[in-house]
Chain A
Amino acid sequence: MSTKDIALPPEYVVEAVGFGLTYPTGVALDDNGGVYVVESGYSYGEDFARPRLLAVKPSENREIAGGDKNGPWNGIVHADGVFYVAEGGETEGGRILKITADGKITVLAEGLPSRGDHHTNGPAIGPDGAVYFGQGTKTNSAVVGEDNAAFGWLRRHSDEHDIPCADVTLEGVNFESKDPIRGGESPVATGAYVPFGTRTEKGQVIKGEVPCGGAVLRIPKAGGKIELVAWGFRNPYGLAFSPEGKLYVADNGFDDRGSRPIWGAADELFAVEQGGWYGWPDYSGGLAVAQNRFKPPGKAQPPKLLAKDPSTPIAPVARFAVHSSSNGFDFSRSDAFGYVGQAFVAQFGYLSPPTGKVLAPVGFRVVRVDVRTGVIADFISNKGDKNGPASLLKSGGIERPVAVRFDKAGRSMYVVDFGEVTVSEKGPKPVKGTGILWKVTRKTAGAS
C-alpha cells in the first residue's frame, strides 16, 4: 500500500487509517470522532464470512457486534448514540438493525425481499428522523434466469421473484433459457415478476406489495410500519441527504446478462421524490430500453414488460459510467473540505465479463458530482496511464472504493475500500483481509 500511487487534487492529502478489513461496506463516526466500519460478511463470488461492526483504529480493529450468515451488512449510520445497519439478507431476507455502542442488536424491520442479486442497502437518517434505506431487486431486469444461478441464490431459493410496489399489468412476454436447477436440454420459459419457469399472459396483473424490490423505504427509528418512499430503482445502493435535506440515491444500472440483457445502461444518481417511479424494468435514465440503443450486440432487443407505465419515469441528475458500480456516497457540508453541496461517490469498479464486456476498466475511483448540473469530475483514482485497481496496476493505491462518509464536522472524508476482487468468466473472486479505510483531508481550509 502506498498513498504515493493515488491521484487526487493537489490541495488534498490521503492516508490509510484502517487495515486488514474483510469485505467492508460502510463507515460511520460517533459524536466523539470514533470511527466504525461494517464488514459485510458477504461478497459476490459467493463467499460468506461473519458480518461485523468494528471500532477501527490504525493499530487495531475491535469487534462491537457480529451477525450470522445473513449478510451483506450493506452500510451503517450513527445517530442519537446508536448505529443503524442494513443487513442485506442474502439467506434469510433483509433486515434493518439497531446496534448500541456496547453491541446489543435489535431488529427494527425484517423479511425484506432480498435473497437475490441485490440486497437491503443504506441506511440514512432523514430530516424527519426516520431511517431511510434501499431495497434492491432480485434480478437484473425482472426475469429470473440462468445468471441468477451463477450468482448462487437461484438454487437456494428457486421460487424467488421480483415484487413490484404497486400493481403492474404485464405484456406477457416470456423468455426461454436453459434450466440450471433441474438441468437437461429442454428450454424453460419464464415471465416477468414470477418464479423461474413460470409463464405469464398478456394482461396479467402482478399484485404490488410493501415492502417491495427496487425501492426506497423508510421506518421510524423506534421501529414500526415500513413506508414506501419511491420505486422503480434497480439497486439503490447509496443513500444520502444533501445539506438542504433532499434525499439522493445512487442506483446501479442494468447489466448485459441473463434472459433479458440490456446494454449501455448507466449507473445513475437520482433526486428522490416522494411517490416517484424511476423506470425499472422498462427505462434506463428516463429512456425506454425497448429501443436499439439498449440492444446488446448479437442479442435480442429487450422488449417492454409492462403494458402500462405506473407514471412518467423520473430522469437522473447524473449518469455514471456503464458498469462502474457507483455505490455509497455522501455530500460535502463544510468549507473546511470544500465543494459544499457536491456528492462524492465511490465507484466499486466493473465486474466484467459476467455483467457485460467493456473496452476499458471503469470505476475504481471516487468522483464528485455537482447535482445542480450533473457534471461529474474525478476526485480520487490511481496514478498512471491506465485505469484500474491497484492489484491490476501492480501499485499500492486503491482497490475498490465502495462507500464515502464525511465526519460530523465535515472536515474529513472517509473512503471504504472493499479490497481485492478479481473477476473472470467464472465470476468474482474476492480476497479476505484486503480492505482499507482511507481518510482524505484538505491541506488548507477554504471554499471551492
Chain B
Amino acid sequence: MEGNPENGRCVVRRTAVIVALAVIGCGGSPRRSETVQGRPAPISSPEQIAGERVFMKNCNQCHPLGEGGLGPPINNKPFPAVMLDAKVRTGLGGDMPSFSEKDISPKELDQLVAYLEALRSNHP
C-alpha cells in the first residue's frame, strides 16, 4: 500500500479505530449514567424494537438498561457502529465475553446497534 495517497488515510483511520477500541475496552472507573427515571428508550422503528430484544437477551444482565452494573454503562458511549461491532464480536480483551454470529447474527447485530443509538439519544 506504500506510495498510495490512500495509505495515509487508511493508516490514520485504522490507528484511530484501534485507539478508540482500546479506550472502550479499558476498565478504569466508570462514569455513572443517569437513571432512566421511568422513561423507556424512544424506540419506534421495527429495527430498534428488534434490537431491544437482542439487547435484553444478551446485554442487559451486564449493562442493565444500558447503565453500569457488572459491566460499564454503555448508554453514554459516543462510539460508531464499527467499534460496537468489534466489541461485541471480540470482547477486545477485558472481562466482556465475545458473541459469535451464532450468538448474535449479523442482522441482529445491526438491530442491536440501532437500539443502542436510540438508548444513547435518551441519555442527556
Contact = CB atoms under 8 A, between A and B. Distances in A.
Contacts of B3: none
A385 B35 contact: yes
A321 interface: yes
B37 A266 contact: no
Interface in A337-388: 356, 358-360, 362, 373-387
Interface of chain A, main secondary structure: loop
Interface size range of chain B in the complex: 20 to 34
B9 interface: no
Interface residues of A, number: 39
A376 B119 CA distance: 14
Interface in A243-270: 263-266
A378 B70 contact: no
A320 B64 contact: yes
B38 interface: yes
Contacts of B70: 264, 321-323, 356, 358-359, 362
Interface of chain B, main secondary structure: loop
B97 A358 contact: no
B57 A319 contact: yes
Given A293-B97, A360-B73, A375 B36 contact: no
A387 B36 CA distance: 10
Given A319-B57, A322-B61, A385-B32, 10 more contacts: A9-B39, A264-B97, A266-B60, A320-B64, A321-B64, A322-B69, A359-B72, A360-B72, A375-B53, A376-B56
Closest 4 CB pairs between A and B? A360-B68, A293-B97, A266-B61, A321-B64
7 contacts: A319-B56, A319-B61, A356-B70, A359-B69, A378-B35, A381-B37, A382-B35
Interface of B: 30, 32-40, 52-53, 56-57, 60-62, 64-65, 67-73, 95, 97
